[in-house]
Structure 1
Amino acid sequence: MTGALVRHMQSAAAALAARAPVRPAPLATPPDPRLKPVMGDPGLPFIGHALGALYDMLEFGRRRYATYGPVSWGVMLGAKVVWVIGPEGTELLAANRDKAFANQGGYEYFIGPFLHRGLMLMDFEEHRLHRRIMQEAFARPRLANYLDAMNPRIARELDGWRPGRRFALYDAAKQLTLGIANEVFVGEHVGADADRLTDAFVDTVHGALAYIRANVPGGAWARGRRGRRVLEQYFRERLATRRADGGDDLFSVLCRATSEEGERFTDDDVVNHMIFMMVAAHDTSTITLAMMGYYLGRHPQWQDKARVEAQELGKDAIEFADLDRLTTLDLVMKEAMRINAPVGSLARETVRDTEILGHHIPAGTIVMTSTYATQRLADVWPKPDEFDPGRFAEDRREDKVHRYAWAPFGGGAHKCIGLHFGVMEVKAIMHQLLLRYRWTVPAGYEPPIGYTTGPMPTDGLPIQLEALRT
């Protein structure tokens, strides 16, 4: 979606929100008089608050919080949804200590047809089993192998970047992370299949986020379903070979992964997990990398500081042992992920009547948190819209105000299993990028923000890219 179209949709969302009747009403009458009802309003007929939630998520979340507080309800594409904003409510959902919230029901409505039986859509004992098996793929030795495989790919991709006054950083980052996913996750130089797989991944993501949820020819939903079929066929045709070959790529590891109790994935499990992991990993890493690049271009003092750190390391490519030494990149990454959460929300469904912050939530209710809005609340963060990596430095640690004030990877049993891979990938790319290039963004430029898994620039994020003299 182009930047102009996103701005149009955001304007339309704001206009419709202004015209929509606000009729505050309780979601349900609490059976326990000690509990409060969840207050909210349905919004427009059928679509409810979908335009605001999808195209203007940050301001939508802030408006809900200002109007109703941390818990409210509304309608989204025909479904009643409870929104939870703020670290306290986020912790209740993520920790799920009384097992009242299920992932599958929360996500199935939105992304189930495209990321069917991915780890994020599993619950309780089944989720624990699959996560236990999958953990082998993200153990420390495996991560080191993935890093060794991705570094040459990063170098080759950066060799092809062409400096100029309007270099599209987001587009280039997306191509780079997809290339890494093909090589490190799939484990082969896919050659002629690369474009087909890339298109299938992108179509699958867009299908999962389609506003028109119908099989209209040429529409995002139809393309997403087709993309999912392409990925299923690709992985299924290679399963037997990968179980036998013993490679170090994620695909091969998942084919052979065994828990300490001897449990293994079925063929269907491997296919489903590969599609989920690849779609999820490339999108979040791309958003993080691109937005770090934007803020470093807008704040050259931080770019210079990160570059000096990279140069002092004395290596063209980082090794696994170097990850903790890139402290400036740590601060910049955390702040970029705070401002632009690469996963903007979490979704759950209540499996029984429960409560959130003293509010009654009936069984069968879809509940969504807004990580995006929570990490930009003035109640939680001083000057929340300012880029200030120093807020994460040890002498400040503004994130310590609450353990879920900063939660871009979620938390609890469903905390992102690939978080260490993602951090490693972004640091590895940014290290090589800092050694090769300097970049700036035009004065006053702010990228128009759309939404996939999280807030992303819709104009390709044009920067002025300059090769460093060696």
Structure 2
Amino acid sequence: MATLAPHQPAEFTHWSDHRIDDADLAHIPGEGGWPVVGNTFRMLADPHAFTRRMVDTYGRVYKTKAFGGWQVALIGADANELLLFDRGKNFSSEQGWGPILDKLFPRGLMLMDFDHHRADRRALSIAFKPEPMRHYSGSLNRGIARQVEAWGTGDMRFYPSIKELTLDLAADSFIGIEWGPEADKINRAFIDMVQAAVAPVRHPLPFTQMKRGVDGRKFLVEYFTRETHRRRAEGGGQDMFSQFATATHEDGSLMPVDEVVDHMNFLMMAAHDTITSSATSLVWLLAKHPEWQEKLRQEVEAVTGGPDANGKPRDLAYEDLGKLELTEMAFKEALRMIPPVPSTPRRALREFEYGGYRIPAGTHVGINAHFVHHEEEHWDNPWSFDPLHFTPDKVKARHKYAWVPFGGGAHMCLGLHFAYMQVKILMAQLLPRYRIELVGGDPEWQAWPIPKPKDGLQIRLEAL
């Protein structure tokens, strides 16, 4: 377990303050890797194998050099709880994500700490209250039904198809508009920004991925700034952007426009790419396990009442979302096996001890959800797809932080219920129409920055 040094004010205001050097961490086992680049390329090539090797070699607390500096990994459910719950406000999310996202998603909700984070989270939470969520559910049903029917039968690459659909859904539910000619530019900007987050070259030099990411951010900032001013002038609206644009703090003041833009930029990225990844992993696993695919299909039809008079699937009512219990368990299992955020960084604001090691203030530390999600200590047959891992009795008996795809503590994902809703509606529209089959065997998955199948996930849809 962990112990902390006596409480003291945070010593650092930016992630680049007081860089940890070799001597600071000499007592912690691990390795620095190659000159200049450290272990960056080894981690990017196969992060899960890299973590397993480091744990096997050095134990559950180890150091490694990557992305320009030293990091200390803390592996296990207890470590997840220590960093995510953070009772004593000892770990900075802003300074943890800073080296990765500072040039791309500054001031996103995930990059805020303590009182500032609490105030902005409270203001933004209005977008996830029941009435806006009910509005989103109607938009999601319409958009998903239209596109899933358009897919038709035959072979397809699921990942790019669902990525396009989630962007369209974000346009409707988040911004309340139909995308025009700017759609491709917006999509390209998001892709460039996410890929730049783990680019080995961390400066926006010409022709680098980081330069493309920074340019993508510039484009989106200009777009969302125009839209924020327009929404404030028009007032009202149930879409997420209108809710953000008119959100107020406890004193009644409007959030500054540039902060609205940064929050919208970050949440669009988070909703777009993480839902794309998690929906893809669920469809892949259901294609591999037709018995579970059929169980979910039967549950959906029992809840929605089966096809309508025209033989088409009925919409999933907002009030019925909670009734898809097996579907939710299957989705949670997909998130366990392929968490869309495989690891989470923080920065220690004061010295602490964990696993028998003293870790100095200023150290960049991180936890690994993917590793813990596959530990036999918490999961029977951890490499097998089994939604029954999430029966109420098993959840109750398990360490609360053994499953953390949405993070935890004060930084628990603000949009997690939106994610559940979108995936449940996708299943309600997809499964009654088609039988999903895998084409060409299991795909190879790219693990970072957000997991995706390298071949786009080749599947076949057969009409039922």
Distance 1:186 1:205 in 2: 20
Cα 1:114–1:250 shift into 2, 3 Å = same
Match of 2:7 in 1: none
Distance 1:40 1:252 in 2: 48
Q: C-alpha distance in 2, partners of 1:356/1:105? A: 20
Q: Does 1:368 find its partner at 2:366?
A: yes
- The answer to whether residue 427 in structure 2 is matched with residue 430 in structure 1 is yes
Could you tell me which residue of structure 2 aligns to residue 339 of structure 1?
A: 337
* 154, 168, 193: which one aligns with 1:164: 154
Question: Distance between the aligned counterparts of 2:81 and 2:361, measured in 1?
Answer: 19
- Could you tell me whether the CA contact under 8 Å between 2:195 and 2:449 is conserved in 1? no
In the alignment, structure 1 residue 400 sits paired with structure 2 residue 401: no
Instruction: Report which stretch shifted further, 315-324 or 247-256.
Output: 315-324
C-alpha distance in structure 1 between counterparts of 2:419 and 2:171, whole Å: 15
Task: Report if the CA contact (8 A) 1:182-1:194 is conserved.
Answer: no
Q: Unaligned stretches of 5+ in structure 1?
A: 1-24, 30-36
Q: Residue 377 and residue 44 in structure 1: after superposition, are their counterparts in 2 closer, same or farther (change >3 A)?
A: farther
Are residue 93 (structure 1) and residue 83 (structure 2) matched? yes
Partner of 2:319: 321
Deviations 1:181-228 (A, max 9, x none): 111112111222222211111111112222232334333211111111
TM-score by length of structure 1 reads 0.88
* RMSD after superposition: 1.8
The amino acid that maps onto 2:222 is Q
| 1:446 maps to 2:437 | no
Q: SS at 1:189's partner residue?
A: coil
Partner of 2:210: 221
SS class of match (1:291)? helix
**CA shift for structure 1 position 378:** 2.7
1:110 aligns with 2:107: no
Q: For the structure 1 residues 400 and 341, does the alpha-carbon distance in structure 2 shift closer, same or farther, using more than 3 Å as the test?
A: farther
Identity of aligned residues (%): 39
Is 1:205–1:452's contact at 8 Å kept on the other side of the alignment?
A: no
Post-superposition Cα deviations, 1:205-258, rounded to whole Å, max 9, x if no partner, equal 112222232334333211111111110111111222201321111111001112
8 Å contact from structure 2 (residues 168, 179) kept in 1: no
Query: 2:120·2:249 contact (CA, 8 Å) conserved in 1?
Result: no
Other-structure match for 1:386? 384
Distance 2:382 2:28 in 1: 27
Q: Secondary structure at the match of 1:238?
A: helix
Mapping of 1:40-59 within 5 angstroms?
40-59=30-49
Could you tell me how far apart the structure 1 residues matched to 2:399 and 2:183 are?
Answer: 43
Matching residue of 1:67: 57
- 1:275-286 to structure 2, matched below 5 A, reads 275-286=265-276
Matched, 1:269 2:269: no
Deviation of 1:442 after TM superposition, in Å, equals 4.0
Superposition map of 1:284-295 within 5 A: 284-295=274-285
Q: Equivalents in 2 of 1:356, 1:236: separation in Å?
A: 44
SS at match of 2:135: helix
Query: Which of 222, 225, 230 matches 1:236?
Result: 225
Instruction: Please point out which of 74, 83, 86 is paired with 2:73.
Output: 83
Contact kept? 1:288, 1:337, Cα under 8 Å:
yes
Structure 1 partner of 2:454: 458
In the aligned structure 2, how far is the partner of 1:260 from the partner of 1:129? 8
User: Offset of 1:27 from its aligned partner?
Assistant: 5.5
**Matches of 1:293 and 1:392 in 2, distance apart?**
18
Please tell me whether the aligned partners of residues 333 and 387 of structure 2 are also in contact (alpha carbons under 8 angstroms). yes
**More deviation in 252-261 or 210-219?**
210-219
Structure 1 SS opposite 2:151: coil
Structure 1 residue matching 2:431: 3-state secondary structure: helix
Comparing 62-71 with 420-429, which one deviates more in the overlay?
62-71
Q: Report the equivalent of 1:17.
A: none
Pairwise CA distance, 1:454: 3.2
Distance 1:454 1:372 in 2: 12
Structure 2 residue aligned with 1:14: none
Q: Give the deviation of 1:400 after TM superposition.
A: 3.4
Aligned-pair distance for 1:357? 3.4
Distance (Å, rounded) in 2 between the aligned partners of 1:358 and 1:386: 33
Q: Distance between the aligned counterparts of 2:413 and 2:393, measured in 1?
A: 27
Distance in 1, matches of 2:222 and 2:153, equals 38
Output the CA distance in 1 between the equivalents of 2:449 and 2:300: 30
Listed one character per residue, the Cα deviations across residues 135-193 of structure 1 (whole Å, up to 9, x for unaligned) are 1111122211111122111122213214223x111111111111111111121112222
Bigger drift between 327-336 and 46-55 goes to 46-55
Distance in structure 1 (CA, Å) of the matches to 2:461 and 2:207: 36
The count of aligned residue pairs is: 434
| Structure 1 range deviating more: 287-296 or 256-265 | 256-265
Q: Secondary structure at the match of 2:63?
A: strand
TM-score normalized with structure 2 length: 0.90
